[in-house]
Structure 1
Amino acid sequence: MQLTGNDLIEALNANTISEASFIAPDQATIDLDELLAFVRQALTAGDLVGAELVISGDEPIHLRLESNLINLPLRYVNQISKIVINNPASEVNVYMIVEHPLVSQSGLRIDQAATVTGFLDDLDSVAAKIAAYFDEKIALINQAMEEERASEATVVTETESEEG
C-alpha cells in the first residue's frame, strides 16, 4: 500500500480513517485478536486505520495500531501535513503506539511494526512482534508504577521518623 503525502493529508482532513476502540477491563484480560482483525480488515480494504485497545485502570493504558507514512499519531494532522506535503508515493507503515504517563517522558511511545504489505503478507509474525512490544511496554509501565509506589512509601516513612 502506497500513498503520496498529499493523499495522506487529504484522508486525514476528510477523516476517512477506519477507527475502532476496544476495552480490556484489566491487564489480565488483554486480547489483541479483535484489534488485529479490525486492522487487517481495514488494511485489506485499502483504508488507513487507527485502532485502540484501552486497558482500564486508575490511569488507563492505550495500545494503538495506526497506519501512516511517518511515526506520528494520526491525530497530529497539522504536524503530519507539514512533514509529508508534496512527498512522492511511499510505503504506508503500521505503527505500534503506547500511551501512558509512565511509558516515556512524553507519555507516548511509537515504533514501526511493519509495512502494510508486510503486515498483510505475514500477519502471524507481525502479530507476535506487536504482542511482544505491548508486553514489554506494559511491563515497563508496571515497573515504573512499583518504583513510584516504593518512592512514595519511603517518603512517608522518612517523614514519620522525622516527626517522631
Structure 2
Amino acid sequence: MSDAEYFWEPVPDVWTLRPRAEARPFPTPEGDRMAGAGALVIDFAHPPPEPEPVTTIAWRLGHIVVGVLLARVAGHFGGRPVDYFTHTYAETADSALAQLDDAYAQWLAGIRALDAKALAAPCGPAEGPWAERSMATLVLHINRELIHHLAEIALLRDLHLRTT
C-alpha cells in the first residue's frame, strides 16, 4: 500500500490522521483536545456526529490498532496502557501495517494463552458494557470488528485503484 492510498480522502470532510498543526480539536470534559501523542492526530468526537464521517484507511488502521486491539491487550493481557490520546499514529502506510501486525500478534498471543475456564469467565470492568459477558464473546466481537473494518479498508483500496 502506498502512502497516497493510506491517506486518500474519497470524499470531502473525512476523518483521517492529520498533522498536529492542521488538526481540529474536539471538546472533552478536560477541555478541547487532540487525540495522538506524535506528529499526527486522529479525527475524533464523542459522541460521533450523525451521520458518522467517512474515514480514510489511515483512520481505520489507527482505530483497529488502538481501539480494537491494543486497548484490549492492555486491559486483559498486561500490555502497556494505550488510548487514542497516548498512541503515536503511523506516518506511513508501511509503519501502519507494522503497527497492525504487532498489535494483532499481541492480541493473538493473549488469546492463545487462555484456557477454557478463562474464556468462559466474564470480561470484567476493562470492557465496560461487555463486563459481564464471557471472554469468548469478546473474542468473537473482536473478530467481527476486524472483519468489518478490514473489509472497509479493502473496499477503499478497490475504489482508490479505480479513481487515481
TM class by shorter chain equals 0.3 to 0.5
How does the TM-score come out when normalised to structure 1? Answer: 0.34
**Structure with more of its chain in strand, by fraction:** 1
Question: Which structure has the larger Rg over C-alpha atoms?
Answer: 1
**Structure with more of its chain in helix, by fraction:** 2
